[in-house]
Structure 1
């Protein structure tokens, strides 16, 4: 029954939305039909200002109202300024448009009257019937005055026109939009900024600490002139291949001075803030520059991309997925390659810029770039098939960009897959979206049930869908109403394909299999795709939803001449009221709440006071238990000490030790670390056997341990008794128990 009701709701919304956007409904009841056609209101001797008072009647088939309005506005402005009048465009014939005879009559009268006025150059006279059915306007065409939402498949003859439309200029109010996004991002992270050293984003488990270590490792490499591609600050002495991890070197290296001066906690918070604010700002700029939409509509679109449930979810500890701000810039540079009249030098220069941007994104997050490439390919195919992208003109610049990227990132790419501590494959758990997750509510949204969302996702950092039912209904309605737009078709296909891919190899609804064919098996074995999580493909769908919102809002915000229906003029604000209300309802379920922060374990006085320096020479520190995906408190000790000692094991991605090229999370456990982990897990002290003592002391030698440190913790007594059976009784120094094992090496 619920599916029947949902289908009826979708149909109703589509019908009402189309009627509202076409201004076919009124807030008041329609009067009885009259037999005469209402007059347009144009005086016998019109002046430019009279064009604003014209009212056209509608017909079952008529000229596109928006295109007519824009042309008359252009005629009015040129006429008033004494300039050449714009040529009469070929207007599309649409359902429920302006009466063609009235439009032709008005244009003929205006042409006759304007011809008597002085003008720089006389335009050809317009005669009745001069307007013919033509293809709707192209959003990338500077010659077309029509709405971006009206670009569609050819319906008739059309004049030649360039495929490139210059970007809209930057204006001062755009800075206010950027500031607004920045304030929103700060509010979202306000709990974290309020306690940088003591708090952490606990719903990301230990991901924040892992990224803080990446920032610290990059800063340490810069300060010591070390190789920034590998670090032995974890997993000593083998080290960690930073390029084989999400080390965001594209941000951690430029921000290394800040990390050295203020610590990794501030760097992490700043990168998170930058990810939210800059991603929203850059998508806003792309919508304004390339879709040429109303800035208010672009504000909403940028906010949806920058603060979507998926972005907020990754904000719990995945700054590499927040740093998406280069994606719209790369798209903008790709579109700019269509610019006509480029010299060979300019093409090479544009290609190099594109290659530099792609390379920077690779240094920040390769997976984001791969997902973006999938989205660009889907949209690009639609644009190419509809003749909206000049691929031939773009190709030279793209090839230069590819060559630039290969030159700059070729060696790092080799290092990632063939360098020290590299791996070639990684086991991932089954990570697909349940169908219910597509329209569910995310944890960090107003009024949501966090337990319901937890049951539909891998964890709190992987709630990649959760768009809500209203947003889906709005997208379906907007697609139905604005289907003639190539932009809308591309966005709708992007949402559909990527959401379908995210469902994985077996499509489920509330964890029960449903008989629908999956798309994921078609791509899961392709190179690079085998390491991707299917659930993350809905990250690509977010900009698609945003485009649908932006185009629909722009259509409603664009001023129109109110026109008559059965002799009665419609209220000109009706489409705006209906669309804004629909957008508000669609976005209400995805409005985010502030990210949750808990207290991290305090750094022992042993490290804050510098006492550790007496016990560490050139070896490592073994925390009890060693750091892993569950407990990374030891990296805070390391950061407090200025990264002047390495740690045993840790939380990172590296080889599993089998020699097969398979990767794993964390270091391969040795006997002593595995023994300690089991004690923590079971909560029961153990007595080491003589054989175990010998093996465990060998492990300490392999790790080159100088000191074993047991910090204050709830299970301290259990761990103390267990380790004492291996190393003897500990020494109490400040607030820790330690075993000085330098003599065992």
Structure 2
């Protein structure tokens, strides 16, 4: 049997009566929903951060503040030793979102970095939804159907999960809809000016490289999958279009190399980058149970949220539900190529998101899965596969838009039920982003206790004090992805003997009496070897600060200077008062 041939290239769906007015209405609607979801921060927009956990929000806030600081001071915004001194950190391996840092710099410089973070978290879903509406312009005729589909994408379980985890980089999910629009133009519609289309694609990919490289890798992977699905379905069209596709690809790569070449250098060969696998490849696997079981972030839960699923709370956004699965089945059987292609690509993304082995209820089953194939591919191997769920979400949005636009009324009703089943709960949280008044430490290298850690709840608090100082001093600690001479991969600065002694002093003040004391002279040598000039101790609520203060006096040889809510212990006569 001969392969089916594709009909003649099709024009875009007819524009809605009234032009593009529905885009403005959609923007207002999505912004209103986003603000409603985040109502808990509206009365303290500069002092509370969106998200249930503080450390990731603090990490993003630090980088937004650092980008604005670099723009106004001439410092390097992409490689800095303000954290993890003297090794430093590489922005492209971290939550730097440099593109958003530049766009939000006016907010950062006027209202503060926490306000800028909150603005980004509110706008991210709205802008992503608008991108979906625009991308569906050539696929779904009805403006109302496109707006509903865009809302599904903007406020999906995937986005809700990353909102409450404070993942600014992932709630800006603009690239997948952009690549959908590009693929529709490249493979379905009449392909004119391929050089220009390729250049615009390169621009979109370059912008994403300066936003978050994991989403870039996911987008490129799924664009290849989509191209393969269409080529398998319509091989003759693929052959006919090959010369134009090559021209588009050439201009895409040229523009990308110019605009994002340095970003790729920082990722692949830049300083302070990780030199090994970041984590177990199974860490970021989706849980099969999450496909049918929603978390507490979804309003309608037929069964209680499971006690445990694979991944952390920010990665449990893979809920589809029975209504969505019924919609997929009806779409595949009741409509044309667009729905079938969306369903196939969504199914591939769903399968890949499950990672290298199947997990059910957080339990590994030993069943191998296709993600194993990419574990040796540079960049892709570092992607947390669960984040391919953003493509699954987009596929669902496309199917819902087509159902509301073209399908018989019963199928459209299923699409409405699917949308209702994803209704967000009023469950988004905020966390305090306050910081003590910064001490005058201009030009100093500071060791802090408590140390900066990757603990999601308060681990990065010392970074907020550094932000409040206007980056007047450097920290030996940090929360980051990087390395040093002794550790190929780090997510926080390694322990030194001063920190071990501080932890010891807190233990022996409690139930661990009798432990041998650490060597204060060795701890002092560690600090001086890292260039430390000042130790900053911030007493913690509910803990007696005396043991840590006594230990710090022994190490530094200083009686310390009491400040409001903190103690300073200079190691040298360089402390500026």
TM over 0.5: yes
**Counterpart position of 2:263:** 412
Shift of the alpha carbon at 1:551? 1.3
Shift of the alpha carbon at 1:337? 4.8
Alignment of 1:437-452 (within 5 A): 437-448=290-301, 452=305
What is the CA–CA distance in structure 2 between the aligned matches of 1:551 and 1:299, rounded to whole Å? Answer: 12
Would you say 1:723 and 2:552 are equivalent positions? yes
Alignment of 1:659-738 (within 5 A): 662-676=488-502, 684=510, 692-714=519-541, 715-717=543-545, 718-727=547-556, 729-738=559-568
What is the CA–CA distance in structure 2 between the aligned matches of 1:295 and 1:683, rounded to whole Å? Answer: 67
Alignment of 1:353-502 (within 5 A): 353-387=200-234, 390-429=241-280, 430-448=283-301, 452-453=305-306, 455-482=308-335, 485-502=336-353
The answer to whether the 8 Å contact 1:309/1:466 transfers is: yes
Please say which structure displays the higher CA radius of gyration.
Answer: 1
Would you say 1:621 and 2:442 are equivalent positions? no
What is the CA–CA distance in structure 1 between the aligned matches of 2:268 and 2:471, rounded to whole Å? Answer: 27
Residues 595/220 of structure 1: CA separation in 2 closer, same or farther (3 Å cut) = farther
Alignment of 1:276-291 (within 5 A): 276-287=125-136, 289-291=137-139
What is the CA–CA distance in structure 2 between the aligned matches of 1:450 and 1:642, rounded to whole Å? Answer: 49
Shift of the alpha carbon at 1:210? 0.4
What is the CA–CA distance in structure 2 between the aligned matches of 1:516 and 1:667, rounded to whole Å? Answer: 36
The answer to whether the 8 Å contact 1:443/1:454 transfers is: no
Residues 658/380 of structure 1: CA separation in 2 closer, same or farther (3 Å cut) = same
In structure 1, stretches of 5+ residues that fail to align are 1-152, 557-574
1:186 aligns to what SS in structure 2?
A: helix
The answer to whether the 8 Å contact 1:501/1:519 transfers is: yes
The answer to whether the 8 Å contact 2:534/2:570 transfers is: yes
Alignment counterpart, residue 60 of structure 2, candidates 211, 215, 220: 211
Alignment counterpart, residue 195 of structure 1, candidates 22, 37, 44: 44
For residues 35-76 of structure 1, give each alpha carbon's deviation from its aligned partner in whole angstroms, at most 9, with x where no partner exists: xxxxxxxxxxxxxxxxxxxxxxxxxxxxxxxxxxxxxxxxxx
What is the CA–CA distance in structure 2 between the aligned matches of 1:682 and 1:591, rounded to whole Å? Answer: 51
For residues 242-289 of structure 1, give each alpha carbon's deviation from its aligned partner in whole angstroms, at most 9, with x where no partner exists: 1121311111123223212221111111111221000011101111x2
Alignment counterpart, residue 597 of structure 1, candidates 417, 429, 433: 429
What is the CA–CA distance in structure 1 between the aligned matches of 2:470 and 2:442, rounded to whole Å? Answer: 15
What is the CA–CA distance in structure 1 between the aligned matches of 2:302 and 2:462, rounded to whole Å? Answer: 34
The answer to whether the 8 Å contact 1:626/1:649 transfers is: yes
Shift of the alpha carbon at 1:702? 3.0
**Counterpart position of 1:313:** 161
**Counterpart position of 1:145:** none
Residues 341/503 of structure 1: CA separation in 2 closer, same or farther (3 Å cut) = closer
Alignment counterpart, residue 181 of structure 1, candidates 30, 34, 41: 30
TM-score by length of 1: 0.69
**Counterpart position of 2:467:** 639
**Counterpart position of 2:151:** 303
The answer to whether the 8 Å contact 2:538/2:567 transfers is: yes
Residues 697/332 of structure 1: CA separation in 2 closer, same or farther (3 Å cut) = same
What is the CA–CA distance in structure 1 between the aligned matches of 2:232 and 2:299, rounded to whole Å? Answer: 41
1:738 aligns to what SS in structure 2?
A: strand
Shift of the alpha carbon at 1:654? 0.5
Alignment counterpart, residue 163 of structure 1, candidates 3, 6, 9: 9
The answer to whether the 8 Å contact 1:231/1:240 transfers is: yes
What is the CA–CA distance in structure 1 between the aligned matches of 2:272 and 2:186, rounded to whole Å? Answer: 39
The answer to whether the 8 Å contact 1:679/1:686 transfers is: no
In structure 2, stretches of 5+ residues that fail to align are none
Residues 678/234 of structure 1: CA separation in 2 closer, same or farther (3 Å cut) = farther
The answer to whether the 8 Å contact 2:49/2:118 transfers is: no
What is the CA–CA distance in structure 2 between the aligned matches of 1:411 and 1:601, rounded to whole Å? Answer: 33
Residues 382/621 of structure 1: CA separation in 2 closer, same or farther (3 Å cut) = same
CA RMSD of aligned residues (A): 2.9
The answer to whether the 8 Å contact 2:159/2:171 transfers is: yes
For residues 646-687 of structure 1, give each alpha carbon's deviation from its aligned partner in whole angstroms, at most 9, with x where no partner exists: 22211011115336xx32211222222344456668984889
Would you say 1:650 and 2:478 are equivalent positions? yes
What is the CA–CA distance in structure 2 between the aligned matches of 1:510 and 1:285, rounded to whole Å? Answer: 37
What is the CA–CA distance in structure 2 between the aligned matches of 1:217 and 1:262, rounded to whole Å? Answer: 15
What is the CA–CA distance in structure 2 between the aligned matches of 1:194 and 1:457, rounded to whole Å? Answer: 35
TM-score by length of 2: 0.88
The answer to whether the 8 Å contact 1:417/1:423 transfers is: no
Which range moved further: 459-468 or 509-518? 509-518
What is the CA–CA distance in structure 1 between the aligned matches of 2:102 and 2:177, rounded to whole Å? Answer: 23
Shift of the alpha carbon at 1:716? 4.5
The answer to whether the 8 Å contact 2:217/2:383 transfers is: no
For residues 302-329 of structure 1, give each alpha carbon's deviation from its aligned partner in whole angstroms, at most 9, with x where no partner exists: 1111111111111121111111223323
The answer to whether the 8 Å contact 2:195/2:248 transfers is: yes
The answer to whether the 8 Å contact 2:447/2:475 transfers is: yes
**Counterpart position of 2:75:** 226
What is the CA–CA distance in structure 1 between the aligned matches of 2:384 and 2:175, rounded to whole Å? Answer: 22
Would you say 1:547 and 2:398 are equivalent positions? yes
The answer to whether the 8 Å contact 1:656/1:668 transfers is: no
The answer to whether the 8 Å contact 1:297/1:550 transfers is: yes
For residues 398-421 of structure 1, give each alpha carbon's deviation from its aligned partner in whole angstroms, at most 9, with x where no partner exists: 211112212332233122232221
Residues 347/547 of structure 1: CA separation in 2 closer, same or farther (3 Å cut) = closer
Higher RCO, Cα 8 Å, sep 6+: 2
Task: Tell me how many residue pairs correspond in the alignment.
Answer: 555
Shift of the alpha carbon at 1:449? 9.6
2:226 aligns to what SS in structure 1?
A: helix
Residues 323/168 of structure 1: CA separation in 2 closer, same or farther (3 Å cut) = farther
Shift of the alpha carbon at 1:594? 4.0
Residues 221/530 of structure 1: CA separation in 2 closer, same or farther (3 Å cut) = same
1:526 aligns to what SS in structure 2?
A: coil
Residues 298/682 of structure 1: CA separation in 2 closer, same or farther (3 Å cut) = farther
For residues 128-174 of structure 1, give each alpha carbon's deviation from its aligned partner in whole angstroms, at most 9, with x where no partner exists: xxxxxxxxxxxxxxxxxxxxxxxxx85xxx9x964252465452232
